Structure 1
Amino acid sequence: MELRTDGDHLVGTAPAGGPCNLSGAEQVLTGDFQDNVFVGTVTVCQSGEACELTGTYPVLLVYNIEDRVFAGRVKLEPGCGSDALGDKGLLVLRAATPEPTQGAPATPQPAERQAQVPVQIAPPSSGSAAQVAAQRREAVDVPAALKLGHQALAAKNALGATQQFQLVLAQDKNNASALTGMGVASFLRNQQGDALRYLELARNVGNLQARAEASFWMACVRLAERQPKPAQDALRRAVKEGWSPPEDNALVDRELQRLSGEGPLFEQLLKEARGRKRAQGRDPQGAGSVSP
C-alpha cells in the first residue's frame, strides 16, 4: 500500500492485485492523525453469504514504536470476513521487506499475507508506513495522555479514552493505568472479553493499588455478564487489596449502584470500601486517574 500525507491527513492506495485481487490501484484508507494514532476509514474486500463484495469501516491504528508498525482491528459486519485482514480483523501496516534472495519463496504464506499489508516505498511526496511513522516518533507525554484518557472515561467517551491509552501503550506496553483504562473503555463499548483481558494484564503488571483498581472493574464487567459469583469474588479481592471509591465520579457511582443492588454480600463489601478514605490525590485508574 502507498501512503500519502498532507499535514495530519493520510490517504492509502492499494495497488492492483493483492489479497483482494484489485483490477487497478484503489484508495482504500483515509483519515487523520491524532499524535501517534490514526483515525479514519478503511475499505476491504469481503466474503460471506450475506456480505457485500466490499465494505468500508471505521478504523483506529496505533503506531508501535518498538515494532515500527501501525496496527489496529477492523470490526466487520457479523458473518463477514476479508482476505485483507488477519485474525479477528487485524490490520497491520509495515514497511515492505527487501526482495527475497534467489530460491526463497517470493509469496508469503496465506496466514502471513492476511496478517499484514506490506507497504511499498512511494515517491518523495508520499511515504511508507515506516516513513510516516518516523515523522511521528516524538515521545508521548505519558502523564498528559493518561490524564486526557481518564477524563474521557469520566465523560463516558470510550473512543477518545482509547486513543489516549493506546498512545501510552505504544510507548510503554506495561503501563497499568493505561491497561486499566483500556479495560474500562472496552467495558463501556460492551466488549467484555477485551475488557477482562486488559484488566487481567493490568493486574499482572501493576502495583497493589493498580491491582485493586483492576479488580473493581473486573467485578463490574462480571456483573454486566450476569455472573454474580465471579463479580463478588472480584469485588472482595478489590476491597482486600485496599480499593476505595472516589468522590464525585459519575461513572464509578453508576457501577456502585449496580453492585449494591446485587444483595447484602455486595453491600457489605461496598460498605467496607466506603469506610476507607481514599489517599489524597488518588483517583481511580480507569475512571479519572492521572497517575501512571
Structure 2
Amino acid sequence: MELRTTGDQLVGTAPAGGVCARPEAQQVLTGEFQGNVFIGKVTLCQTGVACETTATYDVMLVYSFDERALGGLVRLEGGCESVALPKGGMLVFRATEQEAAAPPVTAQASERQAQVPAPIPAVASGSAAQVAAQRRLEAVDVPAALRQGQQALVAKNPVSAVQQFQRVLTQEKNNASALTGMGVAFFLRDQQPEALRFLEQARTTGNQQARAEAWFWTACVKRATQDSKLAQEALRRAVNEGWSPPEGNTLVDRELQLLAREGQPFDTLVKQARGRKRAQGRDPQGAGSASP
C-alpha cells in the first residue's frame, strides 16, 4: 500500500489484486496526524454472514518512533473478519528497511513513512510528519485545549479528545494532563497498551497531583483487562498520592462504580477517595478539569 500526504491529509492507496483481490487500485486509508497520533478511516475487505464485502471503520493509530511503526486496534462489526487484519484486529504499518537506513530529511521527516507488513505488500512515500512539524509552529491556547479535550472525554468522544490533547503536546510534550487525557482516550477505544503507555509517561513527568490522576486511570485500565492485583495496587497508589474524584464527572463516576464492584479492598479505597473529596473540598483534577 502506498502512503502519501496531500495537503494536511495522509492517504493510503492499495494496489489492484492483493489479499483482498481488488479489481483496481483503491484508496483505503484517509486521515491526518495530530502529533504522533493518526485519526482517520480505513476501508477493509471482509467476510462473514450478513457482512458487507467492504466496510469503512474509524481508526485511531499511534506512531512509535522507536519501532518506526504506526498501529492500533480496528474493531470489526460483530461476526465479520478481514484477511487484511491479523488475529486480534491490530492494524500495523512498518517502515521499510530502505527507509530505516536513509538519513532523515528534517527532525522528524520520513518518520511517518510506513508500509503494511507481510502478507500485504506495500510501498511507502510521502511524510505526514511535515504536516505535524508545521502545526508545532502554531500557538496553542493550552488551558482551552485541555478543557475542550476533557469535555470530549466526559462526552465519550475520544477522537475529539485526542485532537485537543495532541495540540497541547505539540507545544508542551511533557504536559501531564494532556498525556493522561491521551491515555483515557485510548482506554475509551479499548486500546489498553496505548493507554498504559501514555499514563506511564504522565506518571514520570507530572507532579504528585498528576501522578495520582494517572495512577487512578491506570487502575481503570488494569480493571478492564481483568488484572485485579495490579488494578488494586494502582488504585492504592492513586489514593496514597492524594487522588480524589472530580464533582459531576459521569465518566469518573462510572469507573468508580466498576472499581467498587471488584471487592472489599477496592470498595474501601473508593470510599476513602470519595471521603477525602468531601472533607477537603479541593478543585477537581483530571478528566473533566481544565487544570494543566
Q: Normalising to structure 1: TM-score of the pair?
A: 0.65
CA contact (8 A) 1:63 1:133 kept: no
CA distance in 1, matches of 2:134, 2:115: 31
- Pairing 1:4-19 to 2, within 5 Å after superposition: 5=6
Q: CA deviation at 1:161?
A: 1.4
Once the two structures are superposed, residues 22-64 of structure 1 have per-residue CA deviations (whole angstroms, 9 ceiling, x without a partner) of: 9976534445x59767643345789xxxxx9987543446899
* 2:209 alignment counterpart: 209
| Structure 1 spans left out of the alignment, 5+ residues | 47-51, 101-107, 121-127
Task: Give the letter for the 2:285 counterpart.
Answer: P
CA distance in 2, matches of 1:39, 1:246: 29
- Pairing 1:99-248 to 2, within 5 Å after superposition: 118-119=124-125, 129=128, 132-133=131-132, 136-139=135-138, 141=140, 142-248=142-248
CA distance in 2, matches of 1:270, 1:89: 36
CA contact (8 A) 2:20 2:83 kept: no
Task: Give the letter for the 1:272 counterpart.
Answer: Q
Once the two structures are superposed, residues 100-138 of structure 1 have per-residue CA deviations (whole angstroms, 9 ceiling, x without a partner) of: 8xxxxxxx99979x9996325xxxxxxx64665565444
Task: Give the letter for the 1:89 counterpart.
Answer: L
Match of 1:279 among 268, 282, 287: 282
CA distance in 2, matches of 1:210, 1:176: 6
Partner SS, residue 41 of structure 1: strand
CA contact (8 A) 1:245 1:278 kept: no
Once the two structures are superposed, residues 161-180 of structure 1 have per-residue CA deviations (whole angstroms, 9 ceiling, x without a partner) of: 12222333344443221221
CA contact (8 A) 2:220 2:231 kept: yes
Q: Normalising to structure 2: TM-score of the pair?
A: 0.65
CA contact (8 A) 2:61 2:73 kept: no
The number of equivalent residue pairs is 266
Partner SS, residue 90 of structure 1: strand
| Structure 2 spans left out of the alignment, 5+ residues | 47-51, 103-113
Match of 1:89 among 91, 96, 110: 91
CA contact (8 A) 1:223 1:259 kept: yes
Task: Give the letter for the 1:223 counterpart.
Answer: R
* 1:49 alignment counterpart: none
Task: Give the letter for the 1:169 counterpart.
Answer: L
Structure-2 change in CA distance of 1:43 and 1:175 (3 Å): same
Q: Percent identity?
A: 55
* TM-align CA RMSD: 4.7
Structure-2 change in CA distance of 1:185 and 1:200 (3 Å): same
CA contact (8 A) 2:62 2:194 kept: no
Partner SS, residue 223 of structure 1: helix
* 1:75 alignment counterpart: 74
Greater C-alpha radius of gyration: 1
